[in-house]
Amino acid sequence: MKIAVCVKQVVTREWPLRVDEARTWVQDRDASFEMNEPDAYALEEALRLKEGHGGEVVVCSAGPPRAAQVVREALARGADRAIRVEGDGLAAADASMVAGALAAAIRDEGFDLVLTGLQSDDQGFAQTGVVLAELLGIPHATIIMEVQAADGRLRVKRELEGGWFQWVSMPTPALLTIQSGINQLRYATLKGIMAAKRKEVRVVEAAADLAPGQEILEIRVPEKTKQTRMIDGSPADAAAELVKALREEARAI
């Protein structure tokens, strides 16, 4: 099975983010970056499918040059080769633009299966994979927690709300968006890191005719809606104060 996995580079969760001067994006010039979490699960699922069925795993990422970092990481974890779509405007682009950039770069590869994460940690559109499926003209299913593949068909377990699930079948080629927790992740080994250096990375310029479908006018910290009593002081003082408040004020203990 020839499998593409789309991975996005995002700012590390622990990075203290600030809004930038234009108030339309965050200050990320000096930030540290990592692979979007569900994408790591999508990559792991692709590697497992390859182990079971043979074939190839190709990691695809669209972004500014710094995105090379997550591509290297994916290759170190076991992907066979990479396609990196480069464009500075892709860092804060909307899902239509990113999907357009990815579609142009992978259309001719003829992948049997395209995997993406279900949602990005930064923009959180939850759309890039779904739009990519439309652009590629292949069926899709989202929020997938198990993948069975046989004879050119997929049977996948979709997560629904409130603890419900559903099995859905479709022919390949197809696109699936993968939910975190579908498998247990493996991490890169030293051998993998060394091997990654020799793997092929095809770098392509983002198509010039990509048009956004939405525009960020302003980013800000959300207004507080609840009166929160912040308790300061040393851990011991704060803890004593909290316990007192829970006993006497809230009567919760």
Partner 1 sequence: MVLVIAEQRDGVLNNASWEALVAAQQMGRPVRVAVAGGDPGAVAAELAAADVESVLAVGHPELESYTPDGFVAAFAAVVADAAPDLVFLAHTYQTREFAPRLAARLGRSLVADCVGTRPRDGRLAFVRPMFQGKFVADVAPTGPAPHFVSFQIGAFRPDALKRGASPAPVREFAVTLEPGAIRQSAEAPFQEAKQAVDLTQAERIVAVGRGIKGQEHLSLVESLATALGAEVAASRPICDSGWLPMDRQIGSSGQTVAPKLYLALGISGAIQHLVGMKGSRTIVAVNKDAEAPIFEVADYGIVGDLFDVVPAIIAALDA
Ligand X SMILES: Nc1ncnc2c1ncn2[C@@H]1O[C@H](COP(=O)(O)O)[C@@H](O)[C@H]1O
| The one segment of 44-52, 63-71, 80-88, 241-249 that binds partner 1 by CB under 8 A | 241-249
236 binds partner 1 (CB under 8 A): yes
Sheet of strand 201-205, all strands in order from the earlier edge strand to the far edge? 153-159, 140-150, 174-178, 113-117, 2-6, 56-63, 81-86, 201-205
| The one segment of 1-9, 103-111, 217-225, 244-252 that binds ligand X by CB under 6 A | 1-9
Site mask for ligand X (CB under 6 A), range 127-166, x = bound:
xxx-------------------------------------
Q: Which is nearer to ligand FAD, 6 or 210 (CB)?
A: 6
Going by C-alpha positions, the residue among 152, 150, 146, 155 that lies closest to residue 178 is 146
36 binds ligand X (CB under 6 A): yes
By CB under 8 A, name the one of 27, 31, 80, 126 that touches partner 1.
126
119 binds ligand FAD (CB under 6 A): yes
Partner residues linked to 140 by β-bridges: 175
- Taking a C-beta distance cutoff of 8 angstroms, is the pair 210, 100 a contact? yes
CB under 5 to 8 A by kind: which of partner 1, ligand FAD, ligand X, none does 36 bind? ligand X
Q: Which two tokens stand for residue 153?
A: 């068909």
The footprint of ligand FAD on residues 5-34 (CB under 6 A) is 13
Residue 104 vs residues 77, 153, 205: alpha-carbon distances, Å: 26, 25, 10
131 binds partner 1 (CB under 8 A): yes
Would you state the torsion angle of the CA atoms of residues 13, 161, 131, 106, taken in this order, to the nearest 10 degrees? 70
Q: Which is nearer to partner 1, 56 or 159 (CB)?
A: 159
The footprint of partner 1 on residues 12-41 (CB under 8 A) is 13, 16-17, 19, 26, 37
179 binds ligand X (CB under 6 A): no
Tell whether omega for the bond before 139 is within 30 degrees of 0, i.e. cis. Answer: no
By CB under 6 A, name the one of 123, 188, 201, 204 that touches ligand X.
123
Q: Which residue has tokens 């603890």?
A: 163
SS3 9: strand
Q: How far is the CB of 195 from ligand FAD (least distance, A)?
A: 30
